[in-house]
Structure 1
C-alpha cells in the first residue's frame, strides 16, 4: 500500500496505540528521547509524516504482524475471517477499533487492506462529525462558561455592593439607636422637668390664691371698719356731744383713731388705775385678743370708776359693736 494509505491508518488509530508503535520502531524525534503524549499533542502530524518514511514502514509492518498474532491469542474470533458488515459493526466499539483496522491492514490480502481503509474512512467521517460536534459543544460550553463567569462576577459584585449597603444600613441603625436613646433620655428629662414645674406652678398658684383670698378678706375687713367708723363719726357728730372711750389693747388699725377714743397699751393699765385717769372716760373697751387674761381679770376687779366696760374677744366683735353704736 502507498504512503497515503499508511498515513490514513496511522491517523485514525488511538493516540495510545500510535505512541506505543512509534516507540517500538524507535523513531527519532529531535529534542525527545521517546514519543510522549505531550509530544504527540504538539507534533502528531510531523510524527506520522516521519513514520511513513520507507525505513520506518518496514519496521511498522513487522510490528503489525507480531501484533496480529497477539490479537489472535486474546480474541476468540479472527477479524480477517469475519464478514464486512459484522466488522463494521464491531469497529464502532472503540476498544476493538484499533485491533480490527491493524489486523486487516497488516494482511497481505488486498481485500483486507481495502476493508481496513473503508472502515478507517468511515471512522474518519464519524470522527470529523464528532470533532465538529465536540467543537460545537466546546463553543457552547465556552459561551456558557463565559456567561457563568459573568454571572459569578455580577453576583460577586452585587454581594460586595450588598455588603457595603448592609454595613451602611447597620451603621445608620447604630446611629439611629444612639440618637433614639438620647431622645428617650431627653423626653424623660423633659417629662420630669414638666412634672416638677407643673407641681411648683400649682403650688405657686395655690399660694397666690390663698394670699389673694387673705388680701380680699383684709380689704373687706378694712372696708367694714371704715364704714363703721364713718357711721360712728356721723352718730357722734349728730349728738353734738363729746363721748370719750378708752381702749385697752392697741387694735393697730388707723381707722379706729378718733378724738373721742384714747388707746392704751397693756403695760399702761396699772398707771391708769393708780392715777384714776379712767374716771375721765365714759366707756372702757378691753380688747381681749390684745390683752392677757391676767390683766383682764385685774381690770374687771379694780376698775369701778367707769360705768360701762366692754370686752372684745376678737376683731369681729369690735366691728359688730361699732356698727351697733353707730346705729
Structure 2
C-alpha cells in the first residue's frame, strides 16, 4: 500500500464527501463526537490518520464503487475505471468524476499494474494542468465550482427579478382581461336582446306572409299547368302545313271573332294576316271591359291558356257568342270546320 499516495488522495476528498465516507464506514474520529462541515477543516490531519489506520475499510469502499459522474448519465464501477487507459481517465475526470474515486479504484485493486497506472495517471494529470500536487488540482476545481455556484446565484437573482416583473405584468394583464371580459358580457347581452327582438319581428312577418305564400303556390301551380298545356299544343301543331294551306281561302271568315289567349303557332299567325284577332293572355285584363271586346260578335276563350281569375274579369254582351276551348285540339277542329264551310 502506497501510504503517501493514499494520504494525498484523502487530502483531495471534498469535505461533504469525506464526512459521508467516514459515516458510511462507521469510523470514529478521536476528539470529535460528530464531524460536520464546520469542524472537518480543522480536523483533517486527525481524520487522515484515522482513515489510514482503517485502510481495510477504505480499500473495500473504493473496491466496490458504483457512482455516476456529474456530467455523465451512466453508472461507473471500480472495474470500469480500472479498464481505462490514462488518457481515458483524464476524460473521465473532466466529465465530473472526482480524483479520489479514480485513484481509489486503481489503488484498491490487488493488481500491481493498476497501482502503476495510478502513478502514471498522477504524473499525466499534474503535467496537463501544470500543478505540483493533486491538492492544487482539486483546489483549482473547487474554485471553478465556486465560481459556477456564484454565477448560478447571480443568475438566480436575475431570474427572480425577471419573475417578479412577469408577476406584475401578469397581474396587470389579468386586470385588463377582467375589464374586457365584463365588457364582452355586456356586449353579448345587448346582442342577445337585439336578436330576440329580431326573432319576434321575423315571426310576425312569417305569420303575415303565410297566406300570401299559399296563394303564390296556387298561382304558380296553375301557371305551370297552363305552360305545360301550351308546350303540348305547340308540339302537336309543329307540323300543321295542311291546315295552314287552307287559310288562303279565309279572307274575312274570322274578322268577327276575337280569340282570348295566344297559342303562338303557324296556323294562328297566318289567320291573323287574314283578319283573325288574337289577344295575348297577359293583355286580357287591359281589354276586358272596353269597347274593343264589345266590337266582336264571337268571343273564343282558350281555357288552357287563360287563368280562371282572368275569365271572371271578362265582360260579355248579351248579343255576343261565347266559345270555350279546353284544349288546342278542339280549337283546331273548330277552325277547320269554319274554313271547310
TM interval, short-chain normalised: 0.3 to 0.5
TM-score with structure 2 setting the length: 0.33
- More helix, by proportion: 1
TM-score with structure 1 setting the length: 0.34
Higher gyration radius (CA): 1
